[in-house]
Structure 1
């Protein structure tokens, strides 16, 4: 890791792949986005490759995201300095650019429908370190999702997703029910992930899951066994296995014909110390050809996550105003606490390598 990167040490790992954008967000028009404290610009060259550079023109510091793509170069919209796909100066009207400094180049990968960026040491970036998403490459799954910009520390979102007790209160009209409070939570941690689990047997399905049961051609008013299995992995991904099965049919392990199950996809990408990009969605294995159901689920998720957004931003305001207040740690917080510990250890390893 270079000294500049080490000097910007904050509250997130840098030697990791983060989701920077959905693939359809990045075209020939430059996209400016701040990721892990770095202002970046993303664009597609004429050949179709996605490029990520620091959003800072070496000439006068203008944002390169205000420029335009010309062939295999990004042209600054201020004075016309053109940079190639590695950030090296290529041409500029009336100037010899051979000795101009380069703009920083960030490793990128386009896969699974997303653009991934590596903000840390480029020498450590490799495709085999990318988080595997087998559902994203299988015709047996359908996916729909969206993006929110949320004004809170990204770790508050991880806390939120690793403890779903709040559903009873924040999402009372969609996925919340009193049985969530009553069901015990288990937490397990390995070197690769933290998993919290909750199972609720013989309960009524809440409104969102009634809609999912209808989509799976199952009776929406039948009693169900419900589950939530939240999986955190570095640097800041949470995959939540959720679903309902007709009661007595095996719950989580029920035959696919007897359940509506899916994976809630959560990529939480830090922007600043008090803001992040939240890429959310749902991957499902039932009625995968039903695009109208995909849209309906997306709309339902958007409403649910909008409720989280309001709570988390207000929580951040309180924490910023009272930074010295100590918070309680209860048994339901174990998943978030263990996830934060995994993040802290990753940061410590990077700091040790830098030193």
Structure 2
């Protein structure tokens, strides 16, 4: 299960340029498109006439036209017209709260009365010209919580990503996990080590020597429903590590927005934001390519892991000290789901009339 009263990344703006996009989010089939004035709209991907996917249609004058028999639907889910038909009695489709912000399109699949755009996490790097961002999208057949586990425990880098960002020192540096309200932070710091290949490339990209010892850090932050932002970087050893002056380090934020499709599949929006040489588009492309290959390595592992868990549902998994970040994140998710599933309080009738 997954929380539904939450904002999830549904797609990126380029995915709805010129045509509607059908995507399942938290078990809901939704079509996203640009309505009147270019504003993003999201309604059920279901034509009330014959059940065809509205995402196979097109947008005309800000309205969604079914590609099967020409039914026209408004952004509120109400049928506007249909050739040769009176549509007053047509059932209304469900519409979903949707917001375009920070270079992403966010959807609220739960109770629309609770949807408050101000609760979308502020992403400073998405609004500042001092930062550059490059990313992509993977569809992965796994439970969204497995991806959260993966990102909150980076010891797997030593093994899954041995040729890019992995190194034995990750295993040797114990992580520290803390919880504050609904935020889980797992931090690991490594001192006086040699940078792995990916970070040597990043050092060169920032005009820094890549063949000297560095201090390295990984600070993973989970916030519900399923977002993980990871501060990562290296600095020339002895210059202050995480707090080093920018002239001595290469640092970034790994962006991970995990959107459940079903119980066992996700849309994984990944990327990296950096605050050095933001105008260097070639560097952005190089980092995106390298990071894309790294995350592709996770994809196969997670899908095979999911297959194993489905094949052996009776097996209990171990919880070790390195799993603290994922365990704490799951506790927050479980609490949110329980709150959504809790029955509404019944009004209490008092003697003499009235209710409390």
TM-score using structure 2 length: 0.96
1:100 corresponding residue in structure 2 = 90
Taking the aligned partners of 2:256 and 2:145, their CA distance within structure 1 comes to: 13
1:84 corresponding residue in structure 2 = 74
2:351 corresponding residue in structure 1 = none
Matched, 1:291 2:266: no
Taking the aligned partners of 1:70 and 1:339, their CA distance within structure 2 comes to: 43
1:203 corresponding residue in structure 2 = 193
Which is further off, 232-241 or 91-100?
Answer: 91-100
2:181 corresponding residue in structure 1 = 191
1:7 corresponding residue in structure 2 = none
2:230 corresponding residue in structure 1 = 240
Matched, 1:48 2:42: no
Matched, 1:25 2:15: yes
Taking the aligned partners of 2:36 and 2:179, their CA distance within structure 1 comes to: 45
Instruction: Report the CA distance between 1:39 and its aligned residue.
Output: 0.5
Contact 1:28 1:45 in 2 (8 A): no
Matched, 1:159 2:174: no
Find the structure with the greater CA-based Rg: 2
Taking the aligned partners of 2:343 and 2:178, their CA distance within structure 1 comes to: 28
Matched, 1:213 2:240: no
Instruction: Report the CA distance between 1:24 and its aligned residue.
Output: 1.3
Instruction: Report the CA distance between 1:353 and its aligned residue.
Output: 5.6
1:115 corresponding residue in structure 2 = 105
Report the count of equivalent residues. Answer: 345
Contact 1:46 1:70 in 2 (8 A): no
The correspondence of residues 216-227 of structure 1 with structure 2, limited to 5 A, is 216-227=206-217
2:342 corresponding residue in structure 1 = 352
The 1:289–1:353 alpha-carbon spacing in structure 2 relative to 1, beyond 3 Å, is farther
Taking the aligned partners of 2:145 and 2:154, their CA distance within structure 1 comes to: 15
Contact 2:183 2:224 in 1 (8 A): yes
Taking the aligned partners of 1:66 and 1:143, their CA distance within structure 2 comes to: 31
Matched, 1:169 2:124: no
Equivalent of 1:135 in 92, 114, 125: 125
Which is further off, 13-22 or 69-78?
Answer: 69-78
Structure 1 gaps of 5+ residues are 1-10
Instruction: Report the CA distance between 1:72 and its aligned residue.
Output: 2.3
Taking the aligned partners of 2:174 and 2:254, their CA distance within structure 1 comes to: 21
Runs of 4+ that moved beyond 4 A: none
The 1:252–1:56 alpha-carbon spacing in structure 2 relative to 1, beyond 3 Å, is same
Taking the aligned partners of 2:306 and 2:342, their CA distance within structure 1 comes to: 30
Taking the aligned partners of 1:126 and 1:240, their CA distance within structure 2 comes to: 25
Instruction: Report the CA distance between 1:280 and its aligned residue.
Output: 0.2
Taking the aligned partners of 1:219 and 1:84, their CA distance within structure 2 comes to: 57
The 1:77–1:176 alpha-carbon spacing in structure 2 relative to 1, beyond 3 Å, is same
Deviation readout 1:199-245 (Å, 9 max, x if unpaired)? 00000000000000001111011100000000000110000000000
Taking the aligned partners of 1:354 and 1:195, their CA distance within structure 2 comes to: 32
Instruction: Report the CA distance between 1:46 and its aligned residue.
Output: 4.7
What SS does structure 1 have at the residue aligned with 2:182?
coil
Taking the aligned partners of 2:69 and 2:344, their CA distance within structure 1 comes to: 37
Taking the aligned partners of 1:335 and 1:72, their CA distance within structure 2 comes to: 44
Taking the aligned partners of 1:58 and 1:191, their CA distance within structure 2 comes to: 43
2:242 corresponding residue in structure 1 = 252
What SS does structure 2 have at the residue aligned with 1:87?
coil
Contact 2:38 2:62 in 1 (8 A): no
What SS does structure 1 have at the residue aligned with 2:242?
helix
Equivalent of 1:319 in 309, 315, 325: 309
Taking the aligned partners of 1:353 and 1:143, their CA distance within structure 2 comes to: 43
Which is further off, 44-53 or 319-328?
Answer: 44-53
